[in-house]
Structure 1
């Protein structure tokens, strides 16, 4: 232990904070202050445990937590080393709980808007490093050099990413960069459907997809959702294209069962139809590994995969992607040629560098940990203080959940009361087409810190109390 910073640390035996978390907090703080520079080797776990007077597994747990958060990297046989400070940022210091402030920043989402990443966690320093690197080495790539499908380096990085994380085997030529997942869904409808064709959409489901179908003159076939996921089109219904969220159904949560996945693949094969898999937030699973993608299950035969960086990285860059079965590649090139790509070329090379450097994966681990803590707070409070008003299913995934209301409460009424207090709780019934009996509030938790969630829950609770008394 050559660096004396390690010798300055002692365990506070009287603190309620677990010992392993005290170790984590010490290393995080010293790394940010510069006392532990980039590349510093952490003490051997056995040696550090002896110095602190704790068990070796406690130190190992702390190191593994820091590895998961992206603060350290490991080398087989060599130990753990601190990452570049630009690769991580500590969360902002806690602030006193207060009422949600609609004016705290322009376009800032209000609790509990769903599907919102917390842009206060954005890794500005590491992103700036990737941008600067591209500006120095290949500045022309930020304005020119991309094909209609986008920057090749980014498509290669995405191919590696989905292979490792989603079980999808694809080459860069099958990947097209889009202006987010909404743009990708619209491109799929333009390419695979003509005015008057039928399209299958989940009910309840994603309203923008329904709006695109409406705008393109498509006939909507509403697919009810049960405990196995979306149901197949009924007899007599003839869509040639369906849009599904099999890994985490939007908005109800839950994953599609293996049998139902097989049923949809058989349906697509028998009809010569296509499945568009909207994999909008699959990275955020808080127990076990992510649910495998349907496109991987299907080996990209009849399934088109849609992914996005808006939920896991930045909702301002507006970048997503679509992964295509090989036979569809020429058709999508034609669509891109007719309508021109909407995705900005400028950030694509930098994003490719950011992913390839490993910084993206570290950021993902970090925000997943933080969102998991926020989710736990929300669930605990709902169980403790809202049990008389409704219930929820814990799917251990996603960026939002649905709180199903008990009679006599109505989601539209409660949502209206909450909105007047600066709290947005979109009613579940508003995203239903024909589905009956859906009565709940959609509560997003990812974009808001624990103080904001606590304050918003207090206000929401007052709405239920007022409804009960009124």
Structure 2
């Protein structure tokens, strides 16, 4: 435990008096008997001594015959640092800017006042407090009117997508997928034995055709298409909603990074446009808050709530209860929105830097469209460069790039690189761009 380590290392000085058991128990949010047991164990091991009427103090280090170097578990460990990601990993938030102190204070407050909420849940839908916070958030930011009863907390957006597909499809069903689109989704559809019907992308977003109107389910990214960018036009959204109503189908709206729009407010969600009639909405905290929490949510039309509960009862809940109450309080106190505003400003500056450099130095190698949103840019290479070869060479030079052609079904003529910018400082972006420019000049 921490007291043992600090006594051995000298961080707790000889004779240092420890907090009274009752006070310490209150601070940690545990029972007094737990603290008494821990203190007495340390007395038995020779780290502490108990003086009647005076409490517990740290023993002289000489009374503990222990060579710390022989016990790695008790040795001082170097402080963990947040490794710098490699440009240009897409969808990577900058965790170096995470509000660690504010988050720690929130966790501490929940531990003191409501510790059971971090471990005990009585519903497969997740924390009611967090579902309420999500309902308020999507009402303000995405134009969706939903009650907490329509919301399920998930282990990220990937878990939400899996939950939706398991609940709403059967083997051999046909499911509409954007082409190009999200690679893990394509793999999961294949594993479940579903038949993908690919939806081509144009300037108005995903498009319907006679060949894919027999789908039972469509998965769309209407607010910011992945990976190309761009928003679906209102007329195209209406066309999909009319398809769902006519064919008794469902639309899954994957709204993975819509909060990051750098001109005006985020575009209203399709689920709000549809009033949650035939559209299921998926959101995530991985991009806007922390990719390590693995928390997301799905918002359902009311008639589907029972079926989704049955799926979770059958396959199990993956979302951890541990951080949910704390995240709810983080949102309610406004700390979440302060962090979000800061990230939009910082990411916007990094985006501008990347676009300026691409315009200035990379016009001979390719082009891009500025959609004023998202966490990555699709850089389309000229035909003289093959994106898989370019990506492999760039990654061998220490970068992290993805070829756009890998996101397609094989029927499209994609040739480019997906360049993320949010997780990197301007200096890191500049270094990465210099490396990428050398790679392109050698190969194009």
Calculate the TM-score normalised by the size of structure 1: 0.76
Corresponding residue number in structure 2 for 1:184:
160
Equivalent residue in structure 2 for 1:441, among 411, 417, 432? 417
Corresponding residue number in structure 1 for 2:201:
225
Equivalent residue in structure 2 for 1:324, among 300, 320, 331? 300
CA distance in 1, matches of 2:190, 2:87: 30
Q: Is the 8 A contact 1:204 1:435 kept in 2?
A: no
Shift, 1:167, TM fit: 0.3
Corresponding residue number in structure 1 for 2:381:
405
Q: Is the 8 A contact 1:111 1:445 kept in 2?
A: yes
Query: After superposition, where does 1:29-48 map in structure 2 within 5 Å?
Result: none
CA distance in 2, matches of 1:107, 1:239: 43
Please list the CA deviations of residues 56-84 of structure 1 after superposition, one character each: whole Å capped at 9, or x if unmatched.
xxxxxxxxxxxxxxxxxxxxxxxxxxxxx
Q: Is the 8 A contact 2:87 2:421 kept in 1?
A: yes
Equivalent residue in structure 2 for 1:206, among 182, 195, 208? 182
Tell me how many residue pairs correspond in the alignment: 365
Corresponding residue number in structure 1 for 2:12:
none
Shift, 1:323, TM fit: 0.2
Query: After superposition, where does 1:84-163 map in structure 2 within 5 Å?
Result: 109-163=85-139
What SS class does the counterpart of residue 277 from structure 1 fall into? strand
CA distance in 2, matches of 1:233, 1:274: 16
What SS class does the counterpart of residue 130 from structure 2 fall into? helix
Corresponding residue number in structure 2 for 1:39:
none
Shift, 1:129, TM fit: 1.2
Corresponding residue number in structure 2 for 1:240:
216
Please list the CA deviations of residues 99-144 of structure 1 after superposition, one character each: whole Å capped at 9, or x if unmatched.
xxxxx96875321010010000110011011111111111000000
CA distance in 2, matches of 1:448, 1:107: 11
Q: Is the 8 A contact 2:143 2:269 kept in 1?
A: yes
Please list the CA deviations of residues 288-346 of structure 1 after superposition, one character each: whole Å capped at 9, or x if unmatched.
11111000000000000000000000000000000000000000010111111100000
CA distance in 1, matches of 2:207, 2:410: 14
Corresponding residue number in structure 1 for 2:35:
none
- 1:416 maps to 2:375: no
CA distance in 2, matches of 1:113, 1:400: 9
Corresponding residue number in structure 1 for 2:347:
371
Equivalent residue in structure 2 for 1:271, among 215, 222, 247? 247
CA distance in 2, matches of 1:128, 1:146: 25
CA distance in 2, matches of 1:306, 1:236: 22
CA distance in 2, matches of 1:433, 1:195: 20
Q: Is the 8 A contact 1:130 1:353 kept in 2?
A: yes
CA distance in 1, matches of 2:212, 2:372: 36
CA distance in 2, matches of 1:107, 1:361: 25
Shift, 1:410, TM fit: 1.2
Q: Is the 8 A contact 1:221 1:233 kept in 2?
A: no
Equivalent residue in structure 2 for 1:352, among 328, 336, 360? 328
Corresponding residue number in structure 2 for 1:307:
283
CA distance in 2, matches of 1:109, 1:187: 30
Please list the CA deviations of residues 131-160 of structure 1 after superposition, one character each: whole Å capped at 9, or x if unmatched.
111111110000003410000000000000
Corresponding residue number in structure 2 for 1:333:
309
Corresponding residue number in structure 2 for 1:453:
429
Equivalent residue in structure 1 for 2:360, among 363, 377, 384? 384
CA distance in 2, matches of 1:145, 1:466: 57
CA distance in 2, matches of 1:399, 1:182: 18
What SS class does the counterpart of residue 167 from structure 1 fall into? coil
Question: Which stretch shifts more, 455-464 or 125-134?
Answer: 125-134
Q: Is the 8 A contact 2:199 2:212 kept in 1?
A: no
Q: Is the 8 A contact 1:203 1:434 kept in 2?
A: no
Calculate the TM-score normalised by the size of structure 2: 0.81
Question: Which stretch shifts more, 435-444 or 156-165?
Answer: 435-444
Corresponding residue number in structure 2 for 1:342:
318
What SS class does the counterpart of residue 305 from structure 1 fall into? strand
Extract structure 1 runs of 4+ deviating beyond 6 A.
Answer: 104-107
Q: Is the 8 A contact 2:365 2:381 kept in 1?
A: yes
Q: Is the 8 A contact 2:229 2:371 kept in 1?
A: yes
What SS class does the counterpart of residue 442 from structure 1 fall into? strand
